Structure 1
């Protein structure tokens, strides 16, 4: 299977638990594995009961497994600082203050978060050589889909910017030296070089997501979760990204046959309702159910994480990446 595996879904469905369990499953099979959290909740620290930061660290008690948590605020600040430094080298001192003001405003826009986070997880993909498998615990569905839709959108946007930049250089140089070949284009324009670098970055991202990544959605057996998953699958299809499988999480355990109290009757009613939802998923969704995970009485950590890992019918073999 592809070297990069993404788990997404509605907020609170248990993506982190499933992602960590699959990471454990891959590591137990002998793969050098990295679990990456791009979810602001950062529950990977809670699941493994140890702190993680922006750099990969070994998971205690599990050979071959590392984890890291990407902090969105840190990434936004880093992203904007890189832009500020690049632009400051290419414009006059009089424009630096104006640039800083514009960047401060950009810092507060929703797109800044997605763009910075996208850059960081693509960097992780590009630098994944030490690992056979990288598992991404993504943010809730809407944010994830905006991230995955960036390459196609931004490739075309950068093409238009590069065209306009070449046109402006051409007009400027012709006005200055006559109808000759524009010197700045021949000598290497720094703005064009920057745009070309970004274009190559997004080309890599788009190719890696389509050729080297497998996507799974985690859902709960309730109608809201089922509906959102249906919409997410359709949006992924529009972006030429297919969902490999679905994980039904937090299923209600069925009581023993001889239990007839109020609690048992409630549980049986819940089980019946959830069975209808799962049947709906099986009959109307293209991606198959690859796991049906029952709710545990304790938080899923340690040995319980291994139990969940065994319930995931997702292969662990990882092929070499195409775009890295």
Structure 2
């Protein structure tokens, strides 16, 4: 078994971080096995909400340190972020339950239900493993599947009394609410942050695929953590397409991956790097893990399961477009985690509707110029509007600082400014811009490629923003606000975009539950970049397709409507390519054969 360069002189702590679905868990598990085979002892810890360490090693793990039966020398622990967040949320709310009105309790609960609370609660759980040497004294190495973001670490370094900041009503936006219960653990956090920034104790492994969105995320993480003094980083490019002479689709994808690696951002290009090859089957079990870092892994022969649904039966995107085209106006939103292709899918839907004669406005957080290049020309009936999320955030930050910020001292302004840099705050800021597009859906079709989560919508409602204020002003009169428009299935159709892989689908399930809390039921799901729907030629990719089929079946149980978009040999650029994306599987098959 070969091993990556980052294992040479590996420090005590190693964090594997990256977008969902890039292979963080597989990389962490394979590293643990490699170290154990060298005779070292390892504690493998997951803070990933979609953790499947137990599945990889074939035994249940859970929230207690558990020895792995198949891998002597490795113990594992799965910290469930949702459970940690619920426990943390209750620790803050329970002291005031019964003392405050139920409306205030609901507001507090929603403020403590976002991604920032989950991140902080997870950090709260594993900080003790880092800060208390006695907890990990029996291990040579502690490996973490997922790492804290730069935003979370900056929050933990903020000065001042967070609890007082909240009590005085100065930080009621998104993140400082979750900070209210952490004051007593400041010493633990300081020790943890010190360990993270010590290159002799910690290495950060940035896991990515050779795809633009995943590399962009790795570059952003690299930049953020380097600015915080965490410069001991290693880049792991996972799952490169192997050389398959019998498959034009594989050859085209491999060429595209090589172009991505040849043009890496300079910040990443200067990092030490490890690459791994795509495995035909899910990396499950010790034998598969031992091949994870191999430069030429064994490629199993395709063995079709007769119980699997034939790929040709999967509904194409054009079926959904035909249903959407029955409307002359309305709001269609694509949602999903970064990297699943929701912007491309939204653009393909907008192009297809425009080709059917509908008047369409496409609103996106991507700069309009880039979309124009993607379309490679104008499309009749299609208008593109620009929403710059950074500009929207700056405008919102300036507005809050000019109101709440005027009453704060320097420390308070620093705390408020950190809160205003959170992902939740940016969602709020962008949603304010989206509200203008929502109104335009009265007169034409509006396609939006990003939507706020259910938490953000409820947070806007619970904190007395636009929705509640409008209801207060109008009294008992019926009023349509952005939230009520999004809740109306006749006006708005939300479409979740995911990939045919375990982690992105689990994340999409959480997004659906999140929206349902806001009384929004997604209209359809789209499974994007499916090898099974592309009808590959090689035995290797047939085996990859077999692994997708159970995931696609799982999606079918989660939604009344679904479409499967095939993996294309090249990124869809230009109207013709975007047009083919929304067509049926036979067209995708001809595209992959070119």
Scaled by the length of structure 2, the TM-score of the pair is: 0.41
1:278 is aligned to 2:278: no
Matched, 1:7 2:16: yes
Q: Deviation string for 1:7-34 (max 9, x for gaps)?
A: 1111111111001001111111122101
Shift of 1:267: 2.5
Residues 156-180 of structure 1: CA distance to partner in whole angstroms, max 9, x if unpaired?
34x345999xxxxxxxxxxxxxxxx
Q: Paired residue for 1:133?
A: 141
Q: Unpaired segments of 5 or more residues in structure 2?
A: 1-9, 166-180, 296-594
Structure 1 residues 9, 110: closer, same or farther in 2, change over 3 A?
closer
Please give the residue correspondences for 1:132-211 in structure 2 after superposition, counting only pairs within 5 Å. Answer: 132-138=140-146, 144-145=148-149, 148-157=150-159, 159-160=160-161, 197-211=184-198
Deviation sequence 1:271-321 (CA, Å, 0-9, x none)? 2222222222396622121x221112222232120122566xxxxxxxxxx
**Gap regions ≥5 residues in structure 1:** 165-193, 312-324
What is the CA distance between 1:129 and its match in structure 2?
Answer: 2.1
Residue 134 of structure 1 aligns to a residue whose secondary structure is strand
Q: Do the aligned partners of residues 123 and 100 (structure 1) sit closer, same or farther apart at CA in structure 2, a change above 3 Å counting?
A: farther
Equivalent in the alignment of 1:251: 240
- The 1-side partners of 2:164 and 2:209 are apart by 47
Cα distance in 2, alignment partners of residues 40 and 285 from structure 1? 30
User: Using the alignment, how far apart are the partners of 1:209 and 1:281 within structure 2?
Assistant: 25
Partner of 1:79: 88
Q: Distance in 2 between matches of 1:46 and 1:111?
A: 27
Residues 233, 243 of structure 1: 8 Å contact kept? no
Larger mean CA deviation between 275-284 and 293-302 belongs to 275-284
| Residue 116 (1) aligns with residue 118 (2) | no
> CA–CA distance in 2 between the matches of 1:50 and 1:280?
41
Quote how far apart the aligned CAs of 1:84 are: 5.0
- Could you tell me how far apart the structure 1 residues matched to 2:280 and 2:103 are? 56
Dislocated runs of 4+, deviation >6 Å: 95-99
Counterpart position of 2:202: 213
The corresponding residue for 1:314 is none
Q: 2: distance between equivalents of 1:282 and 1:104?
A: 41
Work out which of the residue numbers 186, 205, 227 in structure 2 matches 1:238.
227
Q: Is the 8 A contact 2:276 2:294 kept in 1?
A: no
Aligned partners of 1:57 and 1:66 also within 8 Å: yes
Shift of 1:109: 3.4
- Select 1:269's aligned residue among 246, 252, 258: 252
1:79 Cα deviation after fit: 1.7
1:35 paired with 2:19, answer no
State which of 272, 276, 282 in structure 2 corresponds to 1:288.
272
Partner of 1:44: 53
Correspondence 1:67 to 2:76: yes
Q: What's the secondary structure of 1:308's corresponding residue?
A: coil
CA RMSD, aligned part only?
A: 3.0
Q: Secondary structure at the match of 2:72?
A: coil
Tell me if structure 2 keeps the 8 A contact 1:152–1:206. Answer: no
SS at match of 1:281: coil
Give 1:123 shift: 1.9
161 and 274 in structure 1: CA distance in 2 versus 1, 3 angstrom threshold: closer
Q: Distance in 1 between matches of 2:21 and 2:121?
A: 23
Q: What SS does the aligned partner of 2:263 have?
A: helix
Aligned length: 265
Larger relative CO (CA 8 A, sep 6+): 1 or 2? 1
Partner residue of 2:112?
A: 107
